[in-house]
């Protein structure tokens, strides 16, 4: 073990007190054991404040053996960690980085303490030191045949490698931990292992596999009391549902998460839950409720001084962006980026940079949008992220298109498709929307309608209200005069959505398009647009259905949409 220079650990408040009142300050084995069990229960229930008080009172109120004091300090460090007080957590356990202090401990205590010390290093950004310490600790446990401690060391390694964006390595260690916890009958450890596996898949871009493992973690807890862990599992799972654009499932997760966190004292975890709930509500068009939840998260987050404030600024920035309040959006997104960078949080950095690039695109500042999108893609590659790299790729493609670079636009879309975003409906839908805009730029209206129709089906399946309205408008505005009735239906649907969202500029544009459609349909001199041959249309429809296999619901919706588009029947029944 590397020796750091620290003040040697003191076993009591003062040497004079220890020598003068040893009998009065002694603590029995039964008493200290009861304290450890009580603290463990408090932590499982998420009552970190109660656990902290018990631990401090015990540390200061009694004389202790080196092992007992080390375990009390270890538990106090863990307690502070659960409350997001990472610097205090490290300072509490840091004395055991000194060889003189750690050498006084028994092997089992030494393994437990150095594992917590490594976790504290990881939480404060020193992953190299954490990895080195954990590997040494694992070897020590192995040499002394302490298999009951392997699981804790393995799960700590999984956490560190996830922070390093080494997701396959993270999963290997988490799976090892799972096996050890299963052998020991440690259901809480198994739940934590499943959570690490799930989060590694999610951050790698495979949200479907992540949900499978979140479910396994929840199921293994069963009827046991663990509101803190259950709250974290449901909150994290809601994030995976958000990327899959399944807002109802995400909202259900967050309602459960908040219910569990209400039983605990963990304000920081409530911050994440409220912010995620707001995002899901925004997705389904409940913007006032969503904004209220996000602002509640910001209020708690600022009070706690947590890094999650970066993500909350980004959420508010996105909402302002959707509303068309672009200057306010840019201000919030600048704050998000600055906060994430200051706190060295890579995930929030790429998340906020991607949204800032999207803001520049909406402002018509295409060169800045391209530069910021490229920066996001480069940073995403450094941390093994695909989600935000793909989203930034969309900004890149649309920015090129806005400058007349149709070929560069298509190349950017092909790069995204190489990342296989089949489960990300936001990306899939926008790929079709942008290809539709590119077809319009080349005056191929029929191909544009094909892509817009595909995008509409995807966004409807994802219950993405804003983009559903956007695609209804694009379809209604670009259908030719032979499809005036269909154009009116799309424009009316768009108007209903944007009225609900309170987007008056969009409503004005829709009203103008409705007037134009009416005038064109009444014009006897209007000439129908030449249609493609039946064989080409059939090929397009076949491709449309073949590529709609991301989910059964999407395939069914595409089938219905194709039949409605191509049939003159007033009523269609699918048996």
CB 74 within 8 A of CB 51: no
Could you report the per-residue pLDDT of 50-74, keeping only the tens digit for each?
Answer: 999 999 999 998 889 999 999 999 9
Identify the band that residue 19 occupies on the pLDDT scale cut at 50, 70 and 90.
Answer: very low
Could you report the per-residue pLDDT of 333-347, keeping only the tens digit for each?
Answer: 999 999 999 988 898
Instruction: Give CA separation, 495 vs 90, 326, 470, 503, in Å.
Output: 55, 22, 10, 9
CB 392 within 8 A of CB 412: no
Q: What gap in Å lies between CA 356 and CA 298, rounded to an integer?
A: 19
The whole-number pLDDT of residue 44 equals: 84
Token pair, residue 470, equals 């956007």
Identify the band that residue 17 occupies on the pLDDT scale cut at 50, 70 and 90.
Answer: very low
Which whole number is the average pLDDT over 399-413? 97
Identify the band that residue 409 occupies on the pLDDT scale cut at 50, 70 and 90.
Answer: very high
The whole-number pLDDT of residue 559 equals: 58
The whole-number pLDDT of residue 177 equals: 97
Residue 3 has pLDDT above 90, yes or no: no
The whole-number pLDDT of residue 478 equals: 94
What's the 3-state SS for 49-111? HHHHHHHHHHHHHCCCCHHHHHHHHHHHHHHHHHCCCHHHHHHHHHHHHCHHHHCCCCHHHHH
Helix axis angle, 48-61 relative to 29-44, nearest 10°? 160
CA 550 to chain centre: 21
3-state class percentages of the chain: helix first, strand second, coil last, to nearest 5: 80, 0, 20
The whole-number pLDDT of residue 353 equals: 97
Residue 116 has pLDDT above 50, yes or no: yes
Higher pLDDT: 94 or 526? It is: 94
Token pair, residue 235, equals 């909150």
To the nearest whole percent, how much of the chain has pLDDT over 90?
67
Q: Where are the alpha helices (DSSP H) in 502-551?
A: 504-522, 534-546
Query: Which one-letter DSSP state was computed for residue 148?
Result: G
Higher pLDDT: 347 or 433? It is: 433
Residue 331 has pLDDT above 90, yes or no: yes
Higher pLDDT: 531 or 387? It is: 387
Could you report the per-residue pLDDT of 363-402, keeping only the tens digit for each?
Answer: 999 999 999 999 999 999 998 888 899 999 999 999 999 9
Higher pLDDT: 326 or 27? It is: 326
The whole-number pLDDT of residue 572 equals: 52
Instruction: Give CA separation, 184 vs 149, 179, 326, in Å.
Output: 10, 9, 55
The whole-number pLDDT of residue 27 equals: 86
Residue 555 has pLDDT above 70, yes or no: no
- Pick from 137, 85, 80: which is nearest to 112 by CA? 137
Residue 441 has pLDDT above 50, yes or no: yes
CB 194 within 8 A of CB 216: yes
- Pick from 477, 466, 436, 441: which is nearest to 453 by CA? 436
Range ranked top by mean pLDDT from 131-135, 245-249, 565-569:
131-135
Tokens 């041959």 belong to 533
Token pair, residue 268, equals 């920081």
Could you report the per-residue pLDDT of 470-506, keeping only the tens digit for each?
Answer: 999 999 999 977 788 899 999 999 999 999 999 999 9
Which whole number is the average pLDDT over 527-546? 53
Cα radius of gyration rounded to whole Å, the chain = 28
- Is the pTM here over 0.85, yes or no? no
Instruction: Give CA separation, 8 vs 4, 38, 104, 312, in Å.
Output: 11, 29, 11, 41
The whole-number pLDDT of residue 11 equals: 42
Higher pLDDT: 378 or 462? It is: 378
Higher pLDDT: 568 or 457? It is: 457
The whole-number pLDDT of residue 551 equals: 54
Q: What is the mean pLDDT of the chain?
A: 87
Residue 47 dihedral angles phi and psi, to the nearest 5°: -95, 70
The whole-number pLDDT of residue 482 equals: 72
Identify the band that residue 83 occupies on the pLDDT scale cut at 50, 70 and 90.
Answer: confident
Instruction: Give CA separation, 130 vs 127, 158, 360, in Å.
Output: 5, 11, 39
The whole-number pLDDT of residue 419 equals: 85
The whole-number pLDDT of residue 69 equals: 93
Q: What gap in Å lies between CA 416 and CA 430, rounded to an integer?
A: 11
What number of other Cβ atoms are within 10 A of residue 235's Cβ? 26
- Pick from 236, 167, 203, 244: which is nearest to 385 by CA? 203
Residue 7 has pLDDT above 60, yes or no: no
Burial class (CB in 10 A: 0-12, 13-18, 19+), 37: exposed
What number of other Cβ atoms are within 10 A of residue 276's Cβ? 29
Residue 222 has pLDDT above 80, yes or no: yes
């Amino acid at each position: 073990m590397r020796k750091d220079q620290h003040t040697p650990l003191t076993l009591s408040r003062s040497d004079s007190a220890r020598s003068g009142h040893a009998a009065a300050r002694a603590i029995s084995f039964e008493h200290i054991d009861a304290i450890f069990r009580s603290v463990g229960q408090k932590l499982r229930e998420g009552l970190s404040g109660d656990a902290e008080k018990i631990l401090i009172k015990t540390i200061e109120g009694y004389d202790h053996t080196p092992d007992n004091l080390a375990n009390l300090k270890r538990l106090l460090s863990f307690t502070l960690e659960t409350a997001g007080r990472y610097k205090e957590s490290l300072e509490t356990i840091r004395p055991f980085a000194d060889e003189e202090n750690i050498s006084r401990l028994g092997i089992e205590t030494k393994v437990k303490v150095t594992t917590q010390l490594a976790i504290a290093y990881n939480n404060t950004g020193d992953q190299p030191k954490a990895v080195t310490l954990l590997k040494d600790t694992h070897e020590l446990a192995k040499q002394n045949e302490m298999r009951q401690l392997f699981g804790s060391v393995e799960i700590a390694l999984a956490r560190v490698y996830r922070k390093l964006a080494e997701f396959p390595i993270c999963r290997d260690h988490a799976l090892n931990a799972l096996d050890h916890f299963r052998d020991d009958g440690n259901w809480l450890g198994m739940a934590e292992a499943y959570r690490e596996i799930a989060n590694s898949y999610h951050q790698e871009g495979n949200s479907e596999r992540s949900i499978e493992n979140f479910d396994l973690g929840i199921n293994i807890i069963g009827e046991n009391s663990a509101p803190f862990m259950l709250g974290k599992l449901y909150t994290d799972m809601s994030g995976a549902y958000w990327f899959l654009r399944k807002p109802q499932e995400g909202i259900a997760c967050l309602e459960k998460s908040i219910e569990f966190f209400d039983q605990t004292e963990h304000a920081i975890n409530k911050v994440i839950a409220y912010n995620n709930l707001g995002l899901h509500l925004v997705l389904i068009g409940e913007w006032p409720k969503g904004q209220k939840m996000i602002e509640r998260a910001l209020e708690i987050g600022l009070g706690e001084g947590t890094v999650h404030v970066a993500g909350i600024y980004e959420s508010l920035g996105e909402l302002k962006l959707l509303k068309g309040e672009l200057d306010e959006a840019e201000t919030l997104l600048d704050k998000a980026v600055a906060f994430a960078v200051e706190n060295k949080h890579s995930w929030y950095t790429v998340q906020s940079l991607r949204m800032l690039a999207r803001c520049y695109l909406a402002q018509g500042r295409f060169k800045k949008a391209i530069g910021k999108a490229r920066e996001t893609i480069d940073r995403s590659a450094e941390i093994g992220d695909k989600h935000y790299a793909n989203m930034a790729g969309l900004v890149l493609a649309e920015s090129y298109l806005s400058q007349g670079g149709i070929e560069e636009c298509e190349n950017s879309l092909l790069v995204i498709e190489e990342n296989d975003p089949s489960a990300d409906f936001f990306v899939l839908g926008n790929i079709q929307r942008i290809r539709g805009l590119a077809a319009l730029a080349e005056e191929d209206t029929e191909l544009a309608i094909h892509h817009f129709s595909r995008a509409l089906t995807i966004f409807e399946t994802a219950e993405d209200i804003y983009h559903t309205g956007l695609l209804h408008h694009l379809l209604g505005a670009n259908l030719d005069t032979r499809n005036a009735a269909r154009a009116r239906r799309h424009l009316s649907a768009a108007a209903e959505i944007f009225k609900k969202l309170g987007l008056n500029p969009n409503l004005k544009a829709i009203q103008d398009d409705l007037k134009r459609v009416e005038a064109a349909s009444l014009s006897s001199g209007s000439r129908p647009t030449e249609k493609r041959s039946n064989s080409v249309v059939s090929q397009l429809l076949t491709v449309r259905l073949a590529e709609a296999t991301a989910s059964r619901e999407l395939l069914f919706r595409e089938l219905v949409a194709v039949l409605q588009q191509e049939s003159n029947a007033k009523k269609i029944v699918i048996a």
